[in-house]
Amino acid sequence: MAPYNALMDVREVGEAGLLERIARWVREGTASAKGAPTTKGPSLSTLCLGIGDDAAAWRPQGALELWTTDTMVEGVHFLRRQADWHDVGWKIVAANVSDIAAMGGTPTYALVTLGLPEGTQVEEVERLYQGVLALANLEGVAIAGGDVVRSPTFFVTVALAGVAGEALLTRSAAQPGDRVAISGSPGLSGGGLRMVLQGGKGNTAAEALLWEAHFRPGPQVDLGRRLVTAGVRTAIDTSDGLLDDLAKVCLASGMAARLERDHIPVHPALRQTFPEDYWDLVLSGGEEYQLLFTAPPEVMERVAAQEGGGVAVIGEITSGAPGKVTVVDGSGRDVTPPRGGWDHFRP
Measured at the alpha carbon of residue 286, what is the angle toward residues 168 and 245, in degrees to the nearest 5?
A: 40
**Distance, CA of 271 to CA of 25 (rounded, Å):** 41
Paired sense of beta strands 234-237 and 106-116, if any: unpaired
Instruction: Give me the phi and psi of 68, to 5 degrees please.
Output: -145, 165
Residue 76 interacts with a second copy (CB under 8 A)?
Answer: yes
Residue 48 interacts with a second copy (CB under 8 A)?
Answer: yes
Burial class (CB in 10 A: 0-12, 13-18, 19+), 69: middle
Query: Of these, 8, 23, 69, 260, which contacts a second copy (CB under 8 A)?
Result: 69
Shortest gap between Cβ of 239 and a second copy (angstroms)?
9
Residue 237 interacts with a second copy (CB under 8 A)?
Answer: yes
Q: Within positions 168 to 197, which residues make up the interface with a second copy, using CB under 8 A?
A: 168-172
**Whether the Cβ atoms of residue 169 and residue 106 lie closer than 8 Å to each other:** no
**Whether the Cβ atoms of residue 179 and residue 313 lie closer than 8 Å to each other:** yes
Shortest gap between Cβ of 69 and a second copy (angstroms)?
5
- DSSP label at 119? T
Shortest gap between Cβ of 329 and a second copy (angstroms)?
28
Shortest gap between Cβ of 11 and a second copy (angstroms)?
5
Beta bridge partners of 155: 73, 115
Residue 140 interacts with a second copy (CB under 8 A)?
Answer: no
Shortest gap between Cβ of 48 and a second copy (angstroms)?
6
- What is residue 144's three-state secondary structure? strand
**Distance, CA of 109 to CA of 57 (rounded, Å):** 10
Query: Of these, 6, 7, 79, 149, which contacts a second copy (CB under 8 A)?
Result: 149
Query: Of these, 252, 266, 328, 335, which contacts a second copy (CB under 8 A)?
Result: 252
Nearer to a second copy, 59 or 333 (CB): 59
Residue 344 interacts with a second copy (CB under 8 A)?
Answer: yes
- DSSP label at 26? H
Query: Of these, 44, 143, 164, 206, which contacts a second copy (CB under 8 A)?
Result: 164
**Distance, CA of 224 to CA of 216 (rounded, Å):** 19
Residue 68 interacts with a second copy (CB under 8 A)?
Answer: yes
**Whether the Cβ atoms of residue 203 and residue 273 lie closer than 8 Å to each other:** no
Specify the stretch interacting with a second copy by CB under 8 A; choose among 49-57, 177-185, 215-223, 254-262: 49-57
Count CB neighbours of 6 within 10 A.
10
Residue 8 interacts with a second copy (CB under 8 A)?
Answer: no
Residue 82 interacts with a second copy (CB under 8 A)?
Answer: no
Q: Within positions 96 to 115, which residues make up the interface with a second copy, using CB under 8 A?
A: 98-100, 102-103, 105, 109, 111, 113, 115
**Distance, CA of 57 to CA of 257 (rounded, Å):** 43
Query: Of these, 21, 33, 65, 121, which contacts a second copy (CB under 8 A)?
Result: 65
**Distance, CA of 5 to CA of 27 (rounded, Å):** 22
- What is residue 232's three-state secondary structure? coil
**Distance, CA of 126 to CA of 237 (rounded, Å):** 29
Residue 147 interacts with a second copy (CB under 8 A)?
Answer: yes
User: Total residues at the site for a second copy (CB under 8 A)?
Assistant: 74
Shortest gap between Cβ of 313 and a second copy (angstroms)?
21
Shortest gap between Cβ of 22 and a second copy (angstroms)?
13
Residue 37 interacts with a second copy (CB under 8 A)?
Answer: no
Instruction: Give me the phi and psi of 315, to 5 degrees please.
Output: 175, -160
Specify the stretch interacting with a second copy by CB under 8 A; choose among 13-21, 184-192, 213-221, 253-261: 13-21
Residue 312 interacts with a second copy (CB under 8 A)?
Answer: no
